[in-house]
Chain A
Amino acid sequence: MTPRQRLWFFAVAAAGLVACYLWAFAGLPGFGSYPGPYGQEILRQAVAQTHATGVVSAVNFEYRGFDTVGEEFILFAAAAGMSVVLRRLREERATQPADEAESRTVPPSSGAVRVAALLLVGPTAVLGWWLASHAQASPSGGFQGGVILASAFILIYLSGEFLTFRRLSPVALLDAVEAVGAGGFVAIGLAAIAMNLPYLDNYLPLGTIPGAVSSSGTIALISFFVGIEVAAAFVLIVGELLDQTLLRRRSA
């Protein structure tokens, strides 16, 4: 099939898809008037029930906490899957990448980039930690905080310190942290069963002031475990991809 034929084929299919979409959307309630029975009911109940002022976190880590366990393990499986797909094959070895244009000089990363990246490492790590531990109060939570925490490590790489990045994030440690994060979530749920409560029931004291750091019981704790799991998974994923530049096939 030539590219031109393919484009025509696509145009016909896309026209059909657009028609179906428009037909489906015509049946939706208009923008801004969604009756959403579950959402409105949760908005009425959530703050009194969970003492979390962040209702999205309450939904994620309490009302549909069981789904979020699955969601967390999707990320866990992806990181594990990458390690399998990118494992070192028998005919591969780690070498410095061959310089394929020897006459070209590689400009070193500029001083401004290095200093800016290094300066941002600390604030980024603090911001990530803060987000991961304040799911109960504000628009934050383990998933967002974990990603930002991971970017603190990636900033170290950006500042030109690949070796420091690798030394600060050894794979064995990352694997352990990821396992603790994922396992912690499951263990919090199992502890409820041990107390004769439903799985992931919120059995910790809810605190007196909704939205305080100490409020919302298991929601805050789960969010924290999710945070370290996500951070470890992302550092692992980025590290796996960076390692690939050092791997070369021995023969063509």
Chain B
Amino acid sequence: MLAAVRPDAWNLPLVVHVAGAMLLVGALVVVLVLTAAALRRGDGAAVLVRLGFRGLLLGVLPAYLVMRVGAEWVASEEGVGDPAWIGIGYGVADGGLLLTIVATVAAWRASRRDDAGPGGLRRAVVGLSAVLLVGYVVAVWAMTAKPT
């Protein structure tokens, strides 16, 4: 089969969108690994939680913004209407922002507690990060397979 060829005008916004999405997922994976490691409560758990919080605040949220701006830019160039794959993308992005904000607040609160504090907030950050990653894999599938 021949691959689809898109107009040149779509390329730059698509680079912005995909680069933002890749950095978003990459930062989220790092946050998940750091905070999951902190659950073991070994040496340096507090350092890992603090870095997880910084990863959400300075990595995931800015990357989300780049991804979302790129998405709007691509959508305005393409004029694709409202097929199912666009709906999946918007649904994951909107829900993802809410969960990311909740995870960031939880990570901030967890980072202000010492190692002896309860682990519920850390587990919440791990759980939310895992759910977000699953959602973004679904979004990648929707963006590539483009189900109608």
Q: Do A and B come from one complex?
A: no
